[in-house]
A = this chain, B = another copy of it.
Amino acid sequence: MGWGDLGVFGEPSKETPNLDQMAAEGMLFLDFYTASPLCSPSRAALLTGRLPVRNGFYTTNGHARNAYTPQDIVGGIPDSELLLPELLKKAGYTNKIIGKWHLGHRPQFHPLRHGFDEWFGSPNCHFGPYDSRERPNIPVYRDWDMVGRYYEDFKIDLKTGEANLTQLYLQEALDFISKQQASQQPFFLYWAIDATHAPVYASKQFLGTSQRGLYGDAVREIDDSVGKILKHLQQLGISENTFVFFTSDNGAALISAPKQGGSNGPFLCGKQTTFEGGMREPAIAWWPSHIPAGGVSHQLGSVMDLFSTSLSLAGLQPPSDRQIDGIDLLPVMLQGKLTDRPIFYYRGNELMAVRAGLYKAHYWTWSNSWEEHNKVMGIDFCPGQSVAGVTTHTQEEHTYLPLLFHLGRDPGEKYPLSFASDEYQRAVERISGLVQQHKASLVPGQPQLNVCDQAVMNWSPPGCEKLGKCLKAPESDPKKCSWPH
């Protein structure tokens, strides 16, 4: 989902009354970022509080490449990483993930081996359907075992866009919350829905209800579900004791527009890029009687802050034996304090850009290659947008003379500041210092997204025997994964 997909962020159809209401009752973050312009690395960052380059969710197969976790990926979340639910357990929390895990699908990466107590959802994207010979359909798990596969047991109608998955995920959430409330146990719910990811889907009752087409139907269903979850918390009397945060793992995928792609509002480009459209996210915090209603914050925030903030809420300290990139947002939300901190925009293992205050310096620019762009059904991460020297189709290095934008005057990254200006000199000097400091202390993790192997796909997930859904894996043939952008 993109920054511009909510009514409260200026989506012109204004079809998200529940999320808009959540913002009115809580705090809106206007300058909130994900940790990568792509799904898996962002999610790994959310749960570890660490940049993908530290936690291993990147590739070195090419320069500045986006990589994720398709089902032939060999890697996943390393055991050495400490995930938020692992830490919350120490404070007595029961942890559940509903929806897409995306941190690796092989047994050692299973969410219940990394701190979660319950899981309903899938390890990978809901791509498909597959033929079960070349490629198995993606499994859906309940806890340790798979309970079916997409397109077989969990239908997604690619023609109509109908699928009831968001309703299933909603019911799971409501039930889990009820159960935790009944047992008076604290809980962490990671509600990782994926209806706005292509192939976009919505339940029957939402199909055709949006002015925005199928994508809008999916947004409406998510909006409706969020409303129901918040209401449930209120009805159970635990809303003042429950912190809720809504955000997204990357900007709207403009390559999927107009039918399956959302909006990044006034920002440049979308998913896969390190322009604002790729990484600036809708973000709303909600905690009645604690976070002041109707608050708006310009704190530079990150999904990684949810790690530190959640620990803080649980009275825990973040691990001290490793670099944590997240910061505790409680002082921002409860006392309106602002913390000066940079935002790092990575693509793979390359630091593409850095934001400090209102300035953003690009050290590398790239949208996608000419080769991809010029294909007949060309891939274009910036459709309809073209800023000379900025949305480049070759990887352009600006290390020694970064492209600098002032995001207040120029949120769309269209007008680089003059290299000769005092303003440029001052801002770049400051950002260069931050970069130096960052790079000096950076210990990259073992890259997890380099090796692919058809043998590791979801042929025979645990529980497949009971369902008669085990498939035969081909022989192992590990290869370097191909990451074209």
Contact = CB atoms under 8 A, between A and B. Distances in A.
Interface of A: 3-4, 7, 9-14, 28, 30-31, 210-213, 215-216, 257-259, 263, 265-268, 296, 298, 358, 383-387, 406-412, 414-415
Contact of A387 (B212, B358, B384): B384
A414 B4 contact: no
A368 to B, nearest CB: 16
A408 B208 CA distance: 12
A378 to B, nearest CB: 11
Given A384-B386, A386-B384, A411 B358 contact: no
A385 B390 CA distance: 13
Given A257-B414, A386-B384, A10 B14 contact: no
A216 B412 CA distance: 15
6 contacts: A13-B411, A14-B28, A213-B406, A258-B414, A383-B414, A384-B387
A10 B11 contact: yes
A266 B4 contact: yes
Contacts of A213: 406, 408-409
Contact of A384 (B4, B257, B268, B383): B268
A266 B268 contact: no
Contacts of A410: 257-258
A265 B268 contact: no
Given A10-B11, A257-B415, A408 B266 contact: no
B10 A4 contact: yes
Nearest to A388: B384
Contacts of A210: 408
B265 A10 contact: yes
A215 B415 CA distance: 15
Nearest to A214: B409
Given A12-B267, A212-B408, 7 more contacts: A4-B10, A10-B266, A211-B358, A211-B408, A263-B411, A265-B265, A386-B386
